[in-house]
C-alpha cells in the first residue's frame, strides 16, 4: 500500500514538476564564481559560500554583499589567488572549498576542499586548520594526502563530520573528464573531532558527490553522481555498518541537505525524478525526499540557473538557497 501510494505521487510529480519562484540573486564579487555549497552559522548568519579563488565568503546584507570570511589553503597568497577562475592549476595552492557546514555547538566551519583536504575554520573565520595533519596511516589506512574531497555534513548532536572523496584518480581540475568517465574510486569517511578518529565507511563509489546525515544520526546518505543513485549507510541499529540502495534516479545527484523536518533536498541534473524516459538536456533541479526515500517534491531550477547544473539546494528559514559550480550568484527561491 505504501509502495502504491508513493508510486502514484512520483508519477503525479513527474508529470508536473513545480517551478521554483526566483525571489532574488545574491551576486558574488566579480570575477569569482562557483558557490558550490551554502552554509549558515548557528545564529542564522550567512549564507556562507566557498568560491573559485579559494576563499569562503559571508553574505553581510544587501548593502555590503559578500565579504571575505576565511580561506582554506594554509599557503594561500592573496596577490596570486584573489579573483582566480575555476579549474585553474593554481587552485592546488590557492584552495578550492566545496562542501561547507557549521558545527552549531562550536560555531566552527568544516570544509571539504578539493585540494587542501578536510579543513576547520574557527568561529571568527580567517586561517584554516588542516584536520588531517595528525592522522596516522595505520589508523584505518587513510591516505594523508586525501585529494578531491567534495561533500560534507556535520551531525548536529555528536559533532561527527561526514565527508566524501569524489575520486582518488581524478583531480578537481579534471572534473569534466571525471564526469564522462566510469570512475569508481570515491569514498565516504567520518571524523570524530572528540577523538580524531577517522573511519572509511564506504569505498568504490562512482563520484561520491554529496553526503547528509539523518536527523537522529542513525544513517548517512551519499550520492553517486555517475551511478545516478543515492546509497544509505547505517551507523546504528540492526544493520549498522552496512549500506543499501536508497534511491535510484535517472538524473545526476550532487549535494544532499537536510531540512528542519528531517527531509532531504538533493540537487539533481538531467532528467528529474526517479524513472522518467531519458531526456538528454541538462535540467537543474531539486528533489525533496522523505527519510524513507519517498519523493515529496520535484522542483525545476531552470529560472535560477538556465542550463547550468545545480550543485546544492539548501532550505533555510522557509526559502531555498541554491549552489552551482558555474554561477556568479546565489539564487534565493520560494519553495512553491
Write the CA distances from 310 to 198, 300, 324, 330, integer angstroms: 30, 10, 5, 11
77 binds ligand NAG (CB under 6 A): yes
Least CB distance to ligand NAG at residue 306 (A): 26
Identified binder of ligand NAG from the candidate list 11, 15, 23, 80, rule CB under 6 A: 80
Per-residue contact string for residues 16-55; x = within reach of ligand NAG by CB under 6 A = ----------------------------x-----------
Least CB distance to ligand NAG at residue 9 (A): 27
Q: Which of 257, 286, 252 is nearest to 269 (CA)?
A: 252
Q: Which of 33, 40, 7, 13 is nearest to 329 (CA)?
A: 33
64 or 134, CB closer to ligand NAG? Answer: 134
Task: Name residue 247's beta-bridge partners.
Answer: 230
d(CA 318, CA 199): 35
13 or 69, CB closer to ligand NAG? Answer: 69
Identified binder of ligand NAG from the candidate list 241, 260, 307, 334, rule CB under 6 A: 241
The residue range among 75-83, 91-99, 264-272, 304-312 that interacts with ligand NAG, by the rule CB under 6 A, is 75-83
147 binds ligand NAG (CB under 6 A): yes
d(CA 126, CA 51): 15
d(CA 176, CA 297): 29
- The dihedrals phi and psi of 110, each to the nearest 5 degrees, come to -100, 140
Least CB distance to ligand NAG at residue 140 (A): 8
Q: Which of residues 247-306 bind ligand NAG (CB under 6 A)?
A: none
101 or 120, CB closer to ligand NAG? Answer: 120
13 or 102, CB closer to ligand NAG? Answer: 102
Site residue total, ligand NAG (CB under 6 A): 16
Q: Please provide the DSSP assignment of 79-145 as one string.
A: HHHTTPPTT-TTHHHH--EEEEEEETTTTEEEEEETTTEEEEE-TT-BSEEETTTT--TTTTT--TT
Write the CA distances from 91 to 75, 76, 112, 128, 173, integer angstroms: 11, 9, 14, 16, 8
Q: Which of residues 314-333 bind ligand NAG (CB under 6 A)?
A: 317-318
d(CA 254, CA 227): 11
Does residue 114 contact residue 53 with C-beta atoms inside 8 Å?
Answer: no
143 or 248, CB closer to ligand NAG? Answer: 143
242 binds ligand NAG (CB under 6 A): no
Which chain residues interact with ligand NAG by CB under 6 A?
A: 44, 77, 79-80, 131, 133-134, 143, 145, 147, 195-196, 240-241, 317-318
Amino acid at each position: 500500500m505504501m509502495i502504491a501510494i508513493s508510486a502514484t505521487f512520483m508519477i503525479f510529480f513527474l508529470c508536473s514538476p513545480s517551478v521554483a519562484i526566483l525571489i532574488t540573486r545574491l551576486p558574488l564579487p566579480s570575477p569569482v564564481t562557483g558557490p558550490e555549497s551554502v552554509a549558515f552559522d548557528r545564529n542564522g548568519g550567512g549564507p556562507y559560500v566557498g568560491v573559485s579563488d579559494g576563499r569562503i565568503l559571508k553574505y553581510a546584507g544587501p548593502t555590503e554583499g559578500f565579504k571575505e570570511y576565511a580561506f582554506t589553503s594554509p599557503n594561500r597568497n592573496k596577490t596570486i589567488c584573489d579573483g582566480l577562475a575555476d579549474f585553474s592549476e593554481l587552485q592546488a595552492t590557492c584552495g578550492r572549498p566545496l562542501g561547507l557546514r557549521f558545527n552549531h555547538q562550536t560555531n566552527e566551519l568544516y570544509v571539504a576542499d578539493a585540494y587542501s583536504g578536510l579543513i576547520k575554520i574557527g568561529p571568527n573565520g580567517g586561517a584554516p586548520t588542516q584536520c588531517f595533519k595528525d592522522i596516522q596511516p595505520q589508523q584505518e589506512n587513510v591516505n594523508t594526502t586525501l585529494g578531491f574531497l567534495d561533500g560534507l555534513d556535520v551531525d548536529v548532536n555528536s559533532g561527527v563530520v561526514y565527508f566524501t572523496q569524489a575520486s582518488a584518480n581524478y583531480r578537481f581540475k579534471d572534473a569534466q573528464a571525471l564526469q564522462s568517465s566510469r570512475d569508481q574510486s570515491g569514498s565516504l569517511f567520518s571524523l570524530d573531532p572528540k577523538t580524531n578518529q577517522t573511519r572509511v565507511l564506504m569505498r568504490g563509489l562512482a563520484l561520491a558527490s554529496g553526503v547528509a546525515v539523518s536527523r537522529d544520526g542513525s544513517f548517512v546518505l551519499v550520492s553517486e553522481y555517475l551511478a545516478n543513485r543515492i546509497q544509505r549507510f547505517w551507523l546504528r541499529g540492526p544493520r549498522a555498518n552496512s549500506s543499501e540502495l536508497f534511491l535510484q534516479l535517472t538524473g545526476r545527484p550532487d549535494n544532499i541537505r537536510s531540512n528542519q523536518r528531517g527531509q532531504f533536498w538533493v540537487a539533481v541534473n538531467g532528467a528529474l525524478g526517479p524513472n522518467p524516459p531519458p531526456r538528454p538536456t541538462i535540467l537543474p533541479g531539486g528533489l525533496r525526499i522523505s527519510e524513507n526515500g519517498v519523493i515529496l517534491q520535484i522542483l525545476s531550477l531552470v529560472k535560477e540557473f538556465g542550463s547550468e547544473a545545480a550543485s546544492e539546494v539548501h532550505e533555510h528559514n522557509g526559502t531555498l538557497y541554491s549552489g552551482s559550480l558555474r554561477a556568479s550568484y546565489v539564487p534565493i527561491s520560494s519553495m512553491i
